[in-house]
Amino acid sequence: MTENPNQPREYDAVLGGESQVPMAAAVLGGIPGVKSRLASPIVEVKIAALSEALKYGDPGLELIIGALQDESIAVKFAAYALLKDRDEPNLKQQFQKYLPTFEFDVITVNAQGKENSRRRHYAHFFPEDLGNGSVLEMVYIPGGTFMMGSPATDKYRRDNESPQHQVTVPAFFASKYSITRAQWQALMGNNPSWLKFEKRPVEVSWDEVVEFCDRLSQQTGKKYRLLSEAEWEYACRAGTTTPFYFGETITRQLVNCHPYPEDPRDGPLPWSRPIDVGNFPPNAFGLYDMHGNVWQWCSDRCHENYNGAPTDGSSWETTNNYRVMRGGSWHNEPATCRSDFRCLIPDGWAAYGGFRVAVSSSS
């Protein structure tokens, strides 16, 4: 008689590779076993159960779809990875409901700053409710390997941007925009700027940023933090190797910054202050304003160069009192807004200093 795969077997073994279940433990098999393990508080057990669920046809498929609602980002993406190549219309609806996407244009320019390509992209994100109607959008940044630092051929290269070195960055989520004054107000209960302008990026010290991340972590149960310097450059480049994710140059039609002194093509400055986030095109990961507008704090302590730098995307810590800021600001010319430019700043300094937050995809 053919065995019903949906019937539990009291001492069934876990199939499909390594399991996080303790050795010698009795494991319920079939669909009931998968359901049991999906109820586990251990993320690794849930992910292993999802892989096994595929063997059980439609009942297993329903369990994987249900896992898109899991509170763990890692479980959501494990379910998505198993389903993303399927064409059923109901799956696309579930993705958009529990792991939504947004669409955007990615623009590149030639050496004269003229647009030479425009491509349609999309990115996954999840919303985080900060209260008072304020929502933080966290964009999925796929893991990968890149060359960190500036090449010797870059005429604006500085010594602290070398040597170039290969870094492998695990997947993570980063906020779509720099944290705004409205988002700060919603979480922290105050506005550190005497100006309102709710959609403009907040400008705060490194210690204040750490307090924001701690409070957000407590409120959500996720471990929010600053991007490491390697994560920031990887996220800014979004697969590019040019000084800017737009190409070899930028203009004030693309970035809120000052022009190069030798480059009069943009005419008079249209603004000399931070402006609302999201006014300019994003990069291929769906992140806005990675060049210009306000500086962005990173978690690393500063170093004079990259000798001995981590190659795993982690934050580089020492005992000095300087931190790293990236991206340039409205107050800087384009050379300072390059993907690989590093600004080394005392902890307490806040002028032009904004930030975006990150959370691991394995949370």
Distances in Å between the Cα of 192 and the Cα atoms of 26, 78, 119, 207 are 56, 40, 38, 13
The average pLDDT across 73-99 equals 87
Which residues lie below 8 Å from residue 302, measured CB to CB, with a gap of 6+?
Answer: 318, 320, 322, 323, 324, 342, 344, 345
- Confidence band of 268 (pLDDT split at 50, 70, 90): low
What's the CATH superfamily of 102-360?
Answer: paralog of FGE (formylglycine-generating enzyme) (3.90.1580.10)
Q: How many CB atoms lie within 10 A of CB 185?
A: 20
Cα distance between residue 356 and residue 19, in whole Å = 36
Cα distance between residue 62 and residue 34, in whole Å = 12
105 has a pLDDT exceeding 90: yes
Cα distance between residue 181 and residue 166, in whole Å = 36
Place of tokens 């690794």: 44
If we measure between CA atoms, which residue out of 218, 227, 99 comes closest to residue 172?
A: 227
Over the stretch 31-70, which tens digit does the pLDDT of each residue have? 999 999 999 999 999 999 999 998 999 999 999 999 999 9
Over the stretch 60-79, which tens digit does the pLDDT of each residue have? 999 999 999 998 888 998 99
The average pLDDT across 205-218 equals 94
Contact between residue 160 and residue 341 where contact means Cβ atoms under 8 Å apart: no
The average pLDDT across 191-214 equals 88
The average pLDDT across 268-294 equals 88
Q: What angle do CA 255, 261, 263 make, to 5 degrees?
A: 70
Residues paired with residue 247 on neighbouring β-strands, in sequence order: 244
Q: What is the DSSP string of 81-149?
A: HHHTT---HHHHHHHHHHS-EEEEEEEEE-TTS-EEEEEEEEEEEEEEEEETTEEEEEEEE--EEEEES
Contact between residue 183 and residue 175 where contact means Cβ atoms under 8 Å apart: no
